[in-house]
């Protein structure tokens, strides 16, 4: 990377501070939830229940905040999967299989794999949150008394099954996410989730400027020099 490409004037915003705080809050709470779920099963005994439900409450609040922010302050259409995404996926597959000479068109801010991962993990986490909130009726908390008879035995069984399956799927999703985050060719994306910015050359190499107009870190300068 050239020295001038790493200067503040050549940095473009990919993730704002509020979104990075949300991401790492969610990540930390998910890791605590997974650790307090699976470590006792693996034989590591410790008082995990309080840490588990508190992390669940933090995750629920973070997800609720994210939903409100996405619907009111961001463009939720940017995460929708449309015909353009599907056509681009077909063309990319044809290009990889050498059935197409033209390189696939660069995506907007969120390529199809990221959209699919986001939607998949969102469904799993929402299932875990809803079932987890219901399961809190089986423990005593600071503002409520346990009521294990709130639901029938069959409903409790279904809730436990959904919650456990969602937790195992989230664990797999986290492993996939970490794997791609530490791959050398993806470290620039990981850096953007820590520091918030990407360089101008990274933007031009990976994104379609017409689909995503990235803002410069120094908003007094244009996002793209033409």
Residue at 5 is within a domain: no
What's the confidence (pLDDT) of residue 88? 87
From the CB of residue 37, how many other CB atoms can be counted at a distance below 10 Å? 19
What pLDDT band is residue 3 in, cutting at 50, 70 and 90? Answer: very low
Can you list the alpha helix ranges (DSSP code H) found in 97-219?
A: 112-135, 153-181, 187-195, 200-206
Mean pLDDT over residues 86-100, rounded? Answer: 87
* pLDDT above 90 as % of the chain: 74
CB atoms within 10 A of CB 101: 7
Is residue 48, in this structure, part of any structural domain at all?
Answer: yes
DSSP state of 152: -
Q: In the chain, how many domains are there?
A: 1
Reported as a single tens digit per residue, the pLDDT across 112-159 is 999 999 999 999 999 999 999 999 999 998 989 999 999 999 999 999
Summary mean pLDDT of the chain: 90
**pLDDT of 19 over the 70 cut:** yes
> In Å, how far are 71, 74, 139, 163, 214 from 68, measured between CA atoms?
5, 9, 29, 24, 22
Rounded Cα–Cα distance for residues 107 and 207 (Å): 5
pLDDT for the residue numbered 5: 54
Average pLDDT, integer, range 204-218: 90
Q: Residue 34's domain spans which residues?
A: 24-74+111-178
**Does the structure show a pLDDT above 70 at 221?**
no
Structural domain contains residue 169:
yes
Q: Among 1-10, 37-46, 99-108, where is mean pLDDT lowest?
A: 1-10
Residue 152 lies in a domain: yes
Work out the pLDDT band at 10, boundaries 50, 70, 90. Answer: confident
């Amino acid at each position: 990377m050239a020295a001038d490409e790493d200067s503040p004037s050549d940095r473009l915003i990919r993730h704002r501070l509020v979104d990075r705080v949300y991401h790492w809050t969610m990540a930390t709470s998910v890791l605590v939830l997974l650790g307090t779920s699976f470590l006792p099963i693996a034989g590591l005994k410790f008082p995990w229940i309080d840490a588990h439900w508190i992390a669940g409450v933090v995750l629920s609040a973070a997800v609720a905040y994210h939903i409100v922010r996405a619907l009111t302050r961001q463009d939720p259409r940017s995460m929708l999967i449309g015909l353009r995404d599907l056509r681009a996926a077909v063309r990319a597959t044809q290009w990889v299989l050498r059935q197409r000479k033209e390189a696939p068109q660069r995506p907007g801010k969120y390529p199809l794999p990221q959209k699919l991962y986001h939607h998949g993990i969102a469904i799993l986490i929402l299932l875990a949150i809803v079932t987890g909130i219901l399961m809190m009726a089986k423990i005593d908390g600071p503002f409520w008394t346990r009521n294990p008879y709130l639901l029938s035995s069959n409903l409790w069984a279904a809730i436990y099954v959904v919650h456990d399956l969602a937790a195992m799927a989230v664990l797999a999703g986290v492993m996939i996410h970490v794997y791609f985050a530490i791959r050398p060719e993806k470290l620039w994306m990981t850096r953007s989730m820590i520091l918030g910015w990407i360089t101008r050359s990274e933007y031009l190499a990976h994104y379609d400027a017409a689909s995503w107009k990235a803002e410069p870190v120094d908003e007094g300068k244009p996002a793209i020099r033409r």
